[in-house]
Amino acid sequence: MKTMTLPVALWLFIPALAAAQFSDTGQTNNEYARTDPGLVAWADQVVGVTRGYQDYQQPALGTATYGLASDCLGATGTPVSLGDGGSVTMAFPLVISNGPGDDFVIFENGFEYLGVYMELGFVEVSSNGSDFSRLPALCRRNSQPGSWDTSDPSLFYNLAGNFIGGTGFDLEDLVSAGDPLVLSGQVDLDGIVFVRVVDVVGDIVGTGGTVDYLGRPVADPYPTPGDSSGMDLTGAAVINTAVVAMENATWGGVKSLYR
């Protein structure tokens, strides 16, 4: 990522200016099949996992237990249940970069009947393993889905799990949202090594529910007590990578090692 020296006053102004460029104007994510030829690599390591409660309001029930964290790895990943607010952090064999269009894809275990049954997750990215930026998520549903209620995928943006297939994510949204870690260079969008998925606690009336980028409650099926509570992560794949960018880059007709 290129850096430059700017007056302090201008640095303070840039985040507010960039944030104004990102608003809820009906954005929709792209859906991907696992067999999509544009998927060039799959998450192959779990570097962190936190299991959430089956129901955050009933901690005595314990945490979600379905699946091993490593089950979600690879092209044939199977579900690992996160529980309320739980998370899994994955690493990849290729570095994810901010290229044209979607840069990576997250897969969940959704299915369809009179709509899509979805359990949602926030998505965060990091280039150093300690600083994570959350993709600006949007929820346009203002009613509470019950434990087995379905939703319309178009009502959600930058939330993993809103499709039966995979949900595509564009790192450029972090630039549009004026993410402070991206603007400071602490999160390098051309060197993303880690992706974290954090379960949405979809209780829109309780005190433990989670909110979207604009501060609105995210409506997710609640409660879902059981060993498979929360989002069921089944994989993550790379679309844009620095390796591919370097291979395809040219400078005066000569292959270049720089983007």
| Tens digit of pLDDT at every position of the chain (259 positions) | 444 444 444 444 444 444 447 899 999 999 999 999 999 999 999 999 999 999 999 999 999 999 999 999 999 999 999 999 999 999 999 999 999 999 999 999 999 888 899 999 999 999 999 999 999 999 999 999 999 999 999 999 999 999 999 999 999 999 999 999 999 999 999 999 999 999 999 999 888 999 999 999 999 999 999 999 999 999 999 999 986 544 443 333 333 222 2
Amino acid making up residue 3: T
| Residue 176 CB partners (closer than 8 Å, separation 6+) | 18, 21, 22, 136
Considering only the C-alpha atoms of the chain, give the largest distance between any 2 of them, rounded to a whole number of Å. Answer: 65
| CA quadruple 242, 135, 114, 164: dihedral, nearest 10 | 20
Extended strands (E) in 115-202: 116-117, 121-126, 133-134, 138-139, 156-157, 166-169, 192-199
Helices marked H in 47-93 — which ranges? Answer: none
Would you call 116 exposed, middle or buried from its count of C-beta atoms within 10 A (0-12, 13-18, 19+)?
Answer: middle
Extended strands (E) in 80-177: 80-81, 87-96, 104-108, 111-112, 116-117, 121-126, 133-134, 138-139, 156-157, 166-169
* Residue where the block lists tokens 């044939």: 76
The residue extents of the domains of the chain are 30-255
How far apart are alpha carbons 227 and 61 in whole angstroms? 9
Q: What is the DSSP letter of 11?
A: H
Calculate ∠ Cα 221-156-211, nearest 5°: 65
Two tokens, residue 251: 């400078």
Residue 125, beta-bridge partner list: 133, 195
